[in-house]
């Protein structure tokens, strides 16, 4: 399990404020399938929110500990039924948006033509 400094935790809380939960843990609890989905979400987003549908507080705190130890992540915040978890992206992988932008090549364009240039010709 990773540890965060208070300054890092504060910055991550600010980043996570506007996020929506990407994974929901239902009545079945923390299954291998749920752990796999959390791993996929952490790989692509780094910082995620998880919604836990159970009412047991001890179970929620146990879940965040289990997730962080299994996936080598850091707990950022747990408020009510929402858990915030952070794991930095590996250095060799790029975000999908950067990869998609790198594939497109820019077309060479000529000088910009104004509306008047089209009307006069």
- Look at 90 and 88; give whichever has higher pLDDT: 88
Ramachandran bin of 114, using left for φ above 0, alpha for ψ from -120 to 50, beta for the remaining angles: beta
The predicted-structure confidence for 30-70, as pLDDT tens digits, reads as follows 999 999 999 999 999 999 999 999 888 999 999 999 999 99
User: Residue 7 sits in a domain of what CATH number?
Assistant: 3.30.110.60
Domain with 16 in it: 1-88
Judged against a pLDDT cut of 60, whether residue 97 lies above it is answered with no
Highest mean pLDDT among 62-71, 96-105, 110-119: 62-71
Structural domain includes residue 119: no
pTM, to two decimals? 0.73
Structural domain includes residue 55: yes
What is the number of domains present in the chain?
1
For residue 100 the two structure tokens come to 């998609």
Structural domain includes residue 67: yes
């Amino acid at each position: 399990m990773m540890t965060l400094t208070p300054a890092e935790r504060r910055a991550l809380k600010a980043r996570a404020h506007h996020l929506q939960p990407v994974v929901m843990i239902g009545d079945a609890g923390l299954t291998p399938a749920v752990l796999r989905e959390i791993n996929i979400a952490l790989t692509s987003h780094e910082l995620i929110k998880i919604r836990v549908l159970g009412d047991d507080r001890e179970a929620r705190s146990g879940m965040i500990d289990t997730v962080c130890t299994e996936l080598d992540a850091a707990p950022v915040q747990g408020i009510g039924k929402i858990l915030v978890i952070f794991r930095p992206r590996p250095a060799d992988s790029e975000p999908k948006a950067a990869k998609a932008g790198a594939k497109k090549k820019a077309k060479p364009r000529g000088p910009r033509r104004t509306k008047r240039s089209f009307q006069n010709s």
